Amino acid sequence: MSLMVEKLAYLKKVRGLTTEQAARLSHIPVGTLNKIFSGQTKHPAAEHIERISRVFRVTAHYLLDDELPTEDCFCALAEDSLFALSAEEVRFVTQYRRLDSTARQALAAMAALLRIPTGLLAGTVPVRRTFCYTAPAPQSAAGGPVRTILLPETDSAAAQAQFAVLLEDGCMEPIYPAGSVLLCRRGPVGREDYGLYQLNQRLLLRRLIRRRGVTRLVAPSLAYKDVVVADTDFLDCLGVITGLARSYRWG
């Protein structure tokens, strides 16, 4: 029961509910809820647990089982059983629900493709399948600038990469020549790192620089002008470049 207080505090924050609001929704007196939320009540009544779980949209099992992590508060139904969703899975589901039907079908096809056994590269090297973007993205690319690529698991850099980018132009010279396949991982991008950015409808390999209130995407090649990002632009970092793919096969 020791973790219940932490879970209840977490749920109040996630759901944006005060104790008074939870009391009104659960029809439990505020004083009783305060004792439960503070841990003063060591063994809450089963009826109270059930009402609280309905208010916060979790299972009673989640509240009572100290083996379940606090963050695994969201549940889904599959084959007549409930299973917990991690915070990462919840973010994925939230993004999925924002997609239109065509994008959902494409994502389902990509997920099915990732489950296909990959086999070996060059006969003996085990590989894994991931996706490779094209940057800058071709304007007329049918189905979008995404291809499947097989990366060798024996290469430590490739094994840690989460996706790849096919470099179509010379923006990354002299670091990487045009035609290179660059390894990337998701996560924060350092000040000296280059990343794959989505700027409105464009995919760009650049370094993000903010100075004196101005945001720019800067390429290492002096032949490419800085791209100024306006406040009204949509800018998202898809990942950071970690190195060059030296052995790969299109999947």
CB burial of residue 59 (10 Å; 0-12, 13-18, 19+)? middle
Q: Can you give the residue ranges of every domain in the chain?
A: 4-95, 101-250
Q: State residue 138's pLDDT score.
A: 59
- Asked whether the predicted pLDDT for residue 32 surpasses 90, the reply is yes
Strands, E, within the chain: which ranges? 74-78, 81-85, 120-121, 125-135, 146-152, 163-167, 181-185, 195-199, 202-211, 214-218, 227-229, 235-244, 249-250
Which band of pLDDT confidence, cut at 50, 70 and 90, is reported for residue 153? confident
Contact 132, 239 (CB under 8 A): no
What whole-number distance in Å separates Cα of residue 144 and Cα of residue 122?
29
Query: What does the alpha-carbon distance between residue 11 and residue 217 come to, in Å, rounded to a whole number?
Result: 39
Q: Residues 131-143: what's their mean pLDDT?
A: 69
The class of domain 4-95 in CATH terms is mainly alpha
| pLDDT digits 0-9 by tens, 116-127 | 777 776 668 888
Please check whether residue 162 is in contact with residue 133, taking contact to mean a CB–CB distance below 8 angstroms: no
Token duo for residue 192: 């000296």
Task: Write down the mean pLDDT value for the chain.
Answer: 85
CATH number of 101-250: 2.10.109.10
Flag whether pLDDT at 17 surpasses 60: yes
The string of pLDDT tens digits covering residues 33-60 is 999 999 999 889 999 999 998 888 888 8
Quick one: pLDDT at residue 109?
Answer: 80
pLDDT for residue 143? 44
Answer yes or no: are the C-beta atoms of 194 and 205 closer than 8 Å.
Answer: yes
> How much is the pLDDT for 140?
46
Provide φ and ψ at 249, rounded to 5°: -145, 140
pLDDT tens per residue across span 77-109: 555 555 666 667 777 777 887 888 888 887 888
Lowest-pLDDT range of 67-71, 96-100, 137-141, 163-167? 137-141
| 173-199 confidence digits (pLDDT tens) | 999 999 999 999 988 888 899 999 999
Sign of CA dihedral 34, 37, 39, 43: positive
